[in-house]
Structure 1
Amino acid sequence: MDFENKVVLITGGGGGVGKLAAQRFLEEGANVVLNSRRQEVLDAARDEIDPSGERVRLFAGDVSEPRTAKALVAAAVDRFGRVDVLVNSTGIFRPTPFLEQTEEHFQEALDSILRPTFWTSQAAASQMRGRGGAIVNVGSMWAADAISTTPTSAYSAAQAGRHALTKNLAIELAAENVRVNTVALAFVETPAYERFMSGEQAREVLDSVHAFHPLGRHGQPADVVEAILFLASEKAGWITGATLPVDGGVLAGRSPAAR
């Protein structure tokens, strides 16, 4: 197993990509620490993936705050002794036209994407220093390109910051043997869409974007998780600072050279 006795910390670990990633890391032998702002979400995730709670530690808190991010890492170290892998999987996707965006919209994007990535990565990398580790960010095609049907200026700006951190941290932390990479997603079926529409509406939207993806369908969390595990593993030991599109081919067809 690729992650036998490794310790994996996942922010946004209560649902969607984060929860399935936790399940796969457990299957590969890891101990997992899950973070979300809501305790009830974490409890439900643990009951689903590790009812015994023996290999899962829950930590509810807002890791957009530096002291909470430090407390999260400290809780992981207290329970399992160290942190080997960090997966930054937080984010709220809320399409809103730019001229209608408010300070609250912009702050929500920063607090759900950029600030948690910055502070949790800093806390985890401080613990990994001298021993090595891997950070995998869950990024977005919206950080690389604008999609006219989904106006997401605040979300896109925050995700672009997450992508920029990937390269900056990869360079700065290379001497500590800490690798930092990103997966960039297109439309993936997660509970995130139900934050701003009903479940039925979310299903209609996701079904309607199949043709948007050159491979003919929107993504599933399982499509994403294997890429995350690869980048977190020693199989990717010579990869850092990379952004891997996991998007059904969307960005391949939207590059400037292809237009």
Structure 2
Amino acid sequence: MDLGLKDKVAIITGGGTGIGRKTAELLLNEGAKVVINGRRADVLKSTLKAIDPSGEHSAYVAGDIADPATSKQLVAKTVDQFGGVDVLINNTGKFGPKPFMDYTPDEIQSYLDVIVKGTLYPVQAVAPEMKKRGKGAIVNTGSMWALAAVEPTPSTAYSAAMAGRHALTKNLAVELASDQIRVNAVAPAVVETPIYNTFLPDKEVPKVLNGFNEFHPLGRNGQPKDVAQAIIYLASEAASWITGVVLPVDGGATARLR
């Protein structure tokens, strides 16, 4: 199937590792140009060296996505280097299970910064450029935790922020529809990415993740490619009549929970 992504220009926030990195790789394989964002310039450089050794089809902008200036810089760099923007993938996130009574105000704010502001500001920056193109596609990485509570991983602040991203997906889809800008989201379950190393000792990560395989009716945790392929589809011309959708990509987990 021709996904119609050749020569398209895509921005990916949270693009240095995990789902974002794999999405960037798949987009490059489809012939697209890619600009990635994250906080750590060294990680972004390493990622692009691995997935686009020539450096001709990609670029990066390091910066905090909770700062609207970062989104403006990201879009300006993309337009300057590749002439416009066709696709935006909002993939920022943080995850650290803990009882809701233990959250500090700063921790709660950090979830809103990374996930909610990390959706609003990039869309505000990119929408005018997509309007110039006459159409565009935005895909947000949401979460199963915004659809259902998971008792072994209490995550109220994360879940609330991701529910906000889901709500933004539907509201932006309606607001931007007249400009032919589609807005959709994916909602993954447990996906084996480096995010688990941010709150677990490295030696414990494999054991903890292995314990979640059977949580999914399909019998295994997700891999970054599983989610990236769904993102690519929603960003592509193959999904040209789909907008406002939050698509579970979860090995059947939410089907079991409902």
Q: Same fold (TM over 0.5)?
A: yes
Query: In the TM superposition, what is the alpha-carbon distance from 1:200 to its structure 2 partner?
Result: 2.1
CA distance in 2, matches of 1:142, 1:178: 27
Q: Which residue of 2 aligns with 1:216?
A: 219
In structure 2, the residue matched to 1:43 is 45
1:100-144 deviations in Å (ceiling 9; x for gaps): 011121012112111111100111112111511000001101111
TM-score (norm 2): 0.97
Q: Distance in 2 between matches of 1:124 and 1:184?
A: 22
Tell me what 2:20 maps to: 18
Distance 1:132 1:223 in 2: 26
Aligned to 2:191: 188
| Aligned partner (choices 249, 253, 258) of residue 252 of structure 2 | 249
Alignment map for 1:112-191 (pairs within 5 Å): 112-130=114-132, 131-191=134-194
2:234 equivalent to 1:228: no
How does the TM-score come out when normalised to structure 1? Answer: 0.97
How many residues align? The count is: 255
2:83 counterpart residue number: 81
Which stretch shifts more, 172-181 or 44-53? 44-53
Aligned amino acid, residue 242 of structure 1: V
CA RMSD of aligned residues (A): 0.9
Secondary structure (helix, strand or coil) at the match of 1:70 reads: helix
Q: Distance in 1 between matches of 2:253 and 2:102?
A: 27
Alignment of 1:28-67 (within 5 A): 28-67=30-69
- Contiguous gaps of at least 5 residues in structure 1: none
Structure 2 counterpart of 1:101: 103
Rounded to whole Å, the distance in 2 between the matches of 1:129 and 1:47 is 31
After TM superposition, the runs of 4+ consecutive aligned structure 1 residues lying more than 6 A away are none
Share of identical aligned residues, percent?
53
Q: What amino acid does structure 2 have at the position aligned with 1:92?
A: K
SS state at 1:82 partner: coil
Amino acid corresponding to residue 74 of structure 2 in structure 1:
L
1:137 partner SS: strand
Query: Are 2:71 and 1:69 equivalent residues in the alignment?
Result: yes
Cα deviation code 1:24-70 (max 9, x no counterpart):
00000000001001101101101110122111111001121112211
Give the one of 238, 245, 250 matched to 2:241: 238
Aligned to 2:210: 207
Using the alignment, how far apart are the partners of 2:194 and 2:257 within structure 1? 26
Following the alignment from structure 2 to structure 1, what is the Cα–Cα distance between the partners of residues 57 and 6?
12
- Relative contact order, CA 8 A, sep 6+: which one is greater? 2
SS in 2 for 1:170: helix
Give the unaligned 5+ runs of structure 2: none
Deviations 1:195-254 (A, max 9, x none): 011222111111001111111111001111110010000100000000110000011111
CA contact (8 A) 2:5 2:237 kept: no
